[in-house]
């Protein structure tokens, strides 16, 4: 019974979207290259504004463990708020911040992903991409167990065990982080 | 047939003995009453304009600056909700702020809110600034936060604010609706026990003024009418005649407002001066007609009605036309609302003069002669005439002394007028127990300034290190200015991120633009000239109170900004500055209109009387009372503002009316004393009736209502004194042509 209630509650928080596959969509990445999104199938996509990057990074770290190496997170920065003159600087700064880490950030300057997947306005969204390339749904996320657990529900193939406080405790502050 | 005091008993003359007859004798009166009543439904449809768009110049620098701020940073004239409690960061109070803020955001017309719940702090993430929720920060950081202390939270933690930003579509009416919704919301979502919430802001103040004026009107209008009725009754000594005078005022008012409604013209604060103008002209005309009737009836004129009309038609027509010209002279004013008043004021004068004539024609055959002659035995009768005649005679005999006295008074008046202070302070004009006045006082003293003031600086290029240094200096200078209670700029956000790291301010500002855009966009916007540059914004707040002081501080800020950024485009936007600018336009516009009015009157008198000296005499008779009345303002420490300057329009209309009657009486009579005996009582009666009626405004709670009544009453009394003393002295004997 509790499971049923939980399932109903989770369904209620997920947006129902009318989306199209991301096929043929090409986005620039932070290294200066481009990436075609044909292959994004059965994956989680994280769509976020730079103002939410700290929360996004933490969610990323927690989810990466659950997703495993076979199903890496697709990270897309919602860059609609940046005017053209700021884009090169932002790309360079992202590249500097990422350094040698094996992660890629795609840059959606004009909101093509949001349009294609019919995403609602939110600073940080997770979207489930089904095997046919269509969105299974999307959910806003903050760094807490409940919302991270809701993200799991976007891809039924994932281990749906709810996150615990210990799962979230893996986050470590960077030595460069400091409150001014 | 018998005669009454030698009059023929005929059925035709107005004022003749009432004749037995059919119902048709009452037909003209019934038709007039029906005509008056027919206008009432139309008059009831008149729309009250809540905004002040007709006063302000949408193309003026202040309005342009406000529009520039609005298009770049959103509107700054929204509501302020302040919650005060022993600790506004206590969990229940914070939860209430979050709940209320969320509910406010959903209201129509709300573009967004700024509150502790929505505010963002900036912290570093791997060396880059990142916005984080302010409430997630430690208590001491929130209380001392350089961006939000004295804006969203008091340093002692006992007050917090929710600033409600308005959508660009919100006009005055939508603002009223939103205020009501906010009050309803506050009532249905009360703060936790021990906390208190108040609502303030410019729109609240505007509505508080409307409410205060409406409350005053509920008290002063019946009191004015009651006093007017009492004085009319004591002068005319007959209930029917007093009722006729009031009916004339009512009919003229009904048709004036019906005309406004039919023309689709909303009544703004300036057109709100029409009722006193109608009342003044209507009462004066009714009294002139009644006194003329009394004179002809008691003079045993065989056709007293006709004789009374003959006797009054010329001066009344002249007075009506010249008064219409006087009010119409405002058409040359620079402000649309004043020009509009000229048109509608002239129509109101015409109607106010026409209704007493029609009522006289309709009722004269119905009233017995004794009704008219009774007034001669009252206090405003012949005894008063003889007394005034003696005064006029004395003024003629001692004309040098009188003229010298007036010369001194004119010089003193001009000197006093040179000390006139132009200012307005609406919040302190509200009654002391008004909730908005109290809310503004609480917000100003405990949290932040109620009024926004923004300084926009466009250096014509992207900000440089030198610009940021100049901005920091300017911010510090304005913060030290007592005219501002809160000042913020980009440099505060830069310092917040930079801390003691010694990073270059320009690099930090660039980081803010990239990684904390919401914070950056609060202080930096697109170029003012739509060029490639950027606009730096100093966001300041001022306490509510003197418009002159607030606008002076805003001008100091503008001068400091120009000095700090030579060659840059600088604009200052504040409601106080807009009001000050509007006053600066309207006061000269009215003065200009009055000069044109006086000139038009002289020309009309020249045409009608063909006596240059008589025509010129009307100039000081109408002008000096206004000069003396306004000269009294510095003595009582009342500033000159839009409302007080508009009083001149009403006073001029009525004083001009008196001046024309006096001038015409001097034209008719060979002796000034005789002219004063003839016209003095009616002028005195009208002056007393109107002065007493308007003095009822002294009981109003809104100080502008009180000033309105006191100044009008003063102007009428001074006008009467000038007419009865200066006119005989100038014209000596009123030589006949």
Kindly list the domain boundaries of chain A, sorted by start residue.
Answer: 2-178
Instruction: Specify whether the CB–CB gap between B55 and B268 falls below 8 A.
Output: yes
Domain A2-178 = CATH 3.60.40.10: no
Strand locations in B684-728 (E): none
Tell me whether residues B498 and A54 touch, CB distance under 8 A.
no
pLDDT greater than 90 at residue B182: yes
Alpha-carbon distance of B518 to B497, in angstroms, equals 14
Please, what is the average pLDDT of chain B?
87
β-pairing, B79-84 vs B196-201, is antiparallel
Tell me what the mean pLDDT of segment B543-572 comes to: 94
Determine contact: A99 vs chain B, CB below 8 A. Answer: no
Q: Above 90 in pLDDT, residue B671?
A: no
Contacts of A174 in chain B (CB under 8 A): 125-126
From the list A25, A176, A33, the residue with the least C-alpha distance to A115 is A25
- Inform me whether the C-beta atom of residue B514 falls under 8 Å from chain A C-beta atoms: yes
Backbone φ/ψ region at B149: left (φ over 0), alpha (ψ -120 to 50), beta: beta
HSE-up of B415 (CA within 13 Å, CB side)?
A: 7
Contact B202, B52 (CB under 8 A): no
**A50 and B125: CB-CB below 8 Å?**
no
Structure ipTM:
0.70
Contact B126 A97 (CB under 8 A): yes
- Assess A89–B contact: CB distance below 8 Å, yes or no: yes
Q: Across residues B672-699, what is the average pLDDT?
A: 90
Distance CA B642, CA B401 (A): 37
For residue B536, give the nearest of B559, B516, B520 by alpha carbon.
B520
Residue A91 CA: distances (Å) to CA of A86, A95, B295, B687: 9, 6, 98, 81
Flag if B514 and A93 touch (Cβ within 8 Å): yes
Q: Please tell me which residue, B96 or B128, carries the higher pLDDT value.
A: B96
Q: Mutate which of A54, A58, A94, A97 to disrupt the B interface (most B C-beta within 10 Å)?
A: A54
CA distance B611 to B279: 31
> Which residues does B52 contact at the CB level (< 8 Å), separation at least 6?
B172, B206, B268, B269, B582
Provide, as residue numbers in chain A, all residues whose Cβ is less than 8 Å from the Cβ of B514.
Answer: 50, 82, 86, 89-90, 93
Which residue in B591, B694, B605 sits closest to B652, CA to CA?
A: B591
CA distance B53 to B63: 10
**What is the average pLDDT across A92-96?**
89
Q: For tokens 């929360």, name the residue.
A: A55
pLDDT of residue A16: 44
Minimum CA–CA partner of B127 in chain A: A176
Please give, rounded to a whole number of angstroms, the shortest distance from the CA of A95 to a CA of chain B. 13
Query: Which residues have C-beta within 8 Å of that of residue B707, sequence separation ≥ 6?
Result: B638, B643, B644
B8 and chain A: CB distance < 8 Å anywhere? no
In this complex, do B517 and A51 lie within 8 Å of one another by their Cβ atoms? yes
CB contact under 8 A, B125 and A177: yes
Among A137-141, B3-7, B99-103, which stretch is predicted with the lowest mean pLDDT?
B3-7
| Bridge-based pairing state of the strands B159-166 and B110-114 | antiparallel
Is some CB atom of chain A closer than 8 A to the CB atom of B156? no
Within a 13 Å sphere around the CA of B649, how many CA atoms are in the beta-carbon half? Answer: 40
User: Between these two residues, B390 and B598, which has the higher pLDDT value?
Assistant: B390
The model carries a pTM of 0.79
Q: Is residue B442 over pLDDT 90? A: yes
Q: Which region, left, alpha or beta, applies to residue B449 given φ > 0 means left and ψ of -120 to 50 means alpha?
A: beta
Distance from the A130 Cα atom to the nearest Cα atom in chain B, whole angstroms: 32
Q: B284-294 pLDDT, tens per residue?
A: 899 999 998 88
CB neighbourhood size of B207 (10 A) = 19
Question: What gap in Å lies between CA B688 and CA B694, rounded to an integer?
Answer: 10
Q: What local confidence, expressed as pLDDT, does residue B127 receive?
A: 74
Shortest CA gap B84–chain A (Å) = 29
CB-based contact B123 A179, cutoff 8 Å? yes
Minimal CA–CA distance to B622: which of B651, B646, B645? B651
Q: Is the pLDDT of residue B160 over 90?
A: yes
Residue B334 pLDDT more than 80? Answer: no
pLDDT of the residue at B588: 80
- Which CA distances in Å does B326 have to A39, B341, B347, B399, B599? 84, 12, 12, 28, 8
Q: Compute the nearest-CA separation of B429 from chain A (Å).
A: 46
Q: Looking at CA atoms only, how far is residue A54 from chain B in angstroms? A: 7
List CB contacts (< 8 A) between B534 and chain A.
Answer: none
pLDDT of residue A125: 93
Residues of B in contact with A180 (CB under 8 A): 122-124, 496-499, 501
Mean local confidence (pLDDT), A30-48: 89
> From residue A151, how far is each of A44, A165, B243, B373, B724 by CA, in Å?
8, 16, 82, 98, 92
Residue A180 pLDDT greater than 60, yes or no: no
Per the CB < 8 A criterion, the answer to whether B623 and B656 are in contact is no
Instruction: Say if A103 is an interface residue toward chain B (CB within 8 Å).
Output: no
CB B159 within 8 A of CB B446: yes
Residue B501 sits at the chain A interface (C-beta within 8 Å)? yes
Nearest to A54 among B130, B501, B510 (CB): B130
Helical segments of B106-138, H only: none
Size of interface A-B (CB pairs under 8 A): 52
Which residues of chain B lie closer than 8 angstroms to A178, CB-CB? 123-124
Higher pLDDT, B646 or B557: B557
The verdict on a CB contact (< 8 Å) between A178 and B124 is: yes
């Amino acid at each position: 019974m509790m499971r049923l209630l939980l399932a109903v509650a989770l369904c209620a928080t997920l947006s129902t979207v009318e989306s199209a596959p991301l096929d043929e969509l090409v986005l620039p990445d932070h290294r200066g290259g481009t990436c075609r999104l044909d292959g994004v199938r059965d994956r989680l996509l994280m769509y976020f504004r730079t103002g939410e990057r700290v929360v996004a990074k933490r969610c990323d770290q927690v989810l990466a463990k659950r997703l495993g190496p076979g199903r890496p997170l697709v990270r897309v920065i919602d860059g609609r708020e940046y005017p053209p003159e700021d884009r090169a600087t932002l790309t360079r700064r992202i590249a500097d911040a990422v350094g040698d880490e094996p992660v890629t950030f795609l840059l959606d300057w004009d909101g093509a992903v949001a349009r294609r997947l019919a995403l609602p306005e939110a600073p940080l969204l997770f979207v489930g991409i089904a095997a046919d390339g269509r969105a299974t749904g999307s959910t806003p996320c903050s760094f807490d167990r409940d919302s991270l657990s809701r993200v799991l529900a976007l891809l039924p193939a994932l281990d749906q065990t709810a996150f615990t406080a210990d799962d979230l405790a893996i986050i470590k502050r960077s030595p460069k982080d400091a409150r001014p | 047939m018998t005669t009454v005091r030698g009059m023929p008993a005929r059925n035709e003359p107005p004022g003749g003995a009432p004749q037995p007859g059919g119902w048709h004798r009452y037909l003209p009166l019934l038709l007039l009453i029906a005509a008056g009543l027919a206008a009432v439904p139309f008059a009831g449809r008149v729309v009250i304009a809540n905004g002040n768009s007709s006063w302000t110049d949408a193309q003026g620098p202040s309005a342009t600056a406000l529009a520039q701020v609005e298009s770049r940073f959103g509107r700054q004239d929204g509501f302020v909700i302040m919650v005060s409690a022993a600790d506004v960061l206590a969990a229940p109070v914070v939860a209430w702020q979050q709940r209320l803020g969320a509910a406010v955001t959903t209201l129509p017309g709300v573009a967004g809110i700024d509150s502790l719940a929505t505010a963002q702090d900036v912290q570093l993430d791997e060396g880059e600034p990142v916005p984080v929720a302010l409430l997630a920060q430690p208590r001491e950081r929130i209380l001392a936060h350089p961006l939000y202390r004295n804006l969203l939270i008091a340093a002692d933690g006992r007050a917090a604010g929710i600033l409600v930003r308005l959508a660009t579509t919100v006009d005055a009416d939508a603002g009223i609706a939103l205020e009501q919704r906010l009050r309803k919301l506050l009532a249905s979502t009360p703060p936790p026990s021990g906390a208190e919430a108040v609502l303030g802001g410019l729109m609240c103040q505007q509505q508080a003024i409307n409410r205060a004026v409406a409350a005053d009107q509920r008290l002063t209008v019946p009191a004015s009418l009651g006093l007017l009725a009492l004085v009319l009754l004591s002068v005319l000594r007959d209930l029917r005649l007093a009722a006729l005078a009031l009916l004339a005022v009512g009919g003229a008012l009904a048709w004036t407002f019906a005309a406004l409604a039919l023309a689709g013209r909303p009544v703004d604060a300036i057109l709100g001066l029409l009722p006193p103008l109608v009342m003044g002209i209507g009462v004066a005309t009714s009294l002139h007609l009644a006194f003329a009737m009394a004179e002809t009836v008691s003079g045993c004129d065989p056709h007293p009605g006709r004789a009374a009309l003959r006797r009054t038609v010329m001066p009344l027509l002249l007075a009506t036309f010249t008064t219409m010209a006087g009010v119409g002279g405002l058409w040359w004013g620079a402000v649309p609302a004043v020009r509009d008043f000229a048109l509608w004021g002239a129509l109101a004068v015409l109607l106010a003069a026409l209704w007493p004539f029609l009522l006289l024609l309709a009722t004269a055959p119905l009233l017995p002669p004794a009704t008219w002659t009774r007034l001669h035995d009252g206090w405003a009768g012949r005894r008063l005439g003889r007394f005034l005649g003696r005064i006029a005679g004395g003024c003629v005999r001692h004309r040098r002394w009188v003229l010298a006295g007036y010369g001194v008074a004119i010089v003193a008046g001009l000197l006093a007028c040179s000390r006139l202070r132009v200012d307005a302070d609406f919040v302190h004009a509200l009654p002391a127990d008004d909730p908005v006045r109290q809310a503004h006082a609480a917000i100003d003293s405990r949290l932040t300034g109620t009024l926004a003031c923004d300084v926009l600086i466009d250096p014509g290029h992207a900000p440089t290190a030198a610009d940021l240094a100049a901005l920091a200096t300017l911010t510090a200078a304005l913060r030290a200015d007592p005219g501002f209670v809160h000042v913020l700029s980009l440099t505060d956000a830069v310092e917040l991120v930079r801390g003691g790291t010694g990073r270059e301010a320009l690099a930090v500002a660039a980081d803010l633009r990239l990684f904390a855009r919401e914070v950056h966009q609060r202080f930096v916007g697109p170029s003012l000239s739509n060029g490639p540059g950027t606009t730096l914004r100093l966001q300041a707040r001022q306490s509510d109170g003197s418009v002159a002081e607030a606008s002076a501080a805003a001008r100091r800020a503008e001068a400091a900004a120009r000095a700090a950024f030579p060659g840059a485009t600088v604009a200052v936007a504040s409601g106080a500055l807009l009001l000050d600018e509007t006053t600066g336009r309207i006061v000269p516009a009215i003065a200009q209109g009055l000069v044109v009015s006086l000139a038009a009157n002289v020309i009309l008198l020249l045409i009608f009387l063909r006596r240059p000296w008589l025509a010129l005499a009307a100039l000081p008779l109408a002008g000096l009372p206004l000069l003396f009345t306004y000269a009294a303002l510095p003595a009582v420490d009342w500033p000159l503002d839009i409302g007080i300057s508009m009083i001149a329009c009403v006073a001029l209309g009525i004083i001009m009316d008196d001046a024309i009657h006096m001038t015409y009486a001097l034209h008719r009579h060979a002796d000034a004393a005789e002219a004063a005996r003839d016209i003095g009582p009616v002028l005195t009666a009208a002056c007393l009736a109107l002065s007493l009626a308007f003095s009822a405004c002294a009981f109003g709670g809104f100080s502008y209502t009180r000033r309105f009544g006191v100044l009008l009453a003063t102007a009428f009394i001074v006008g009467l004194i000038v007419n009865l003393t200066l006119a005989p002295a100038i014209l000596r004997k009123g030589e006949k042509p």
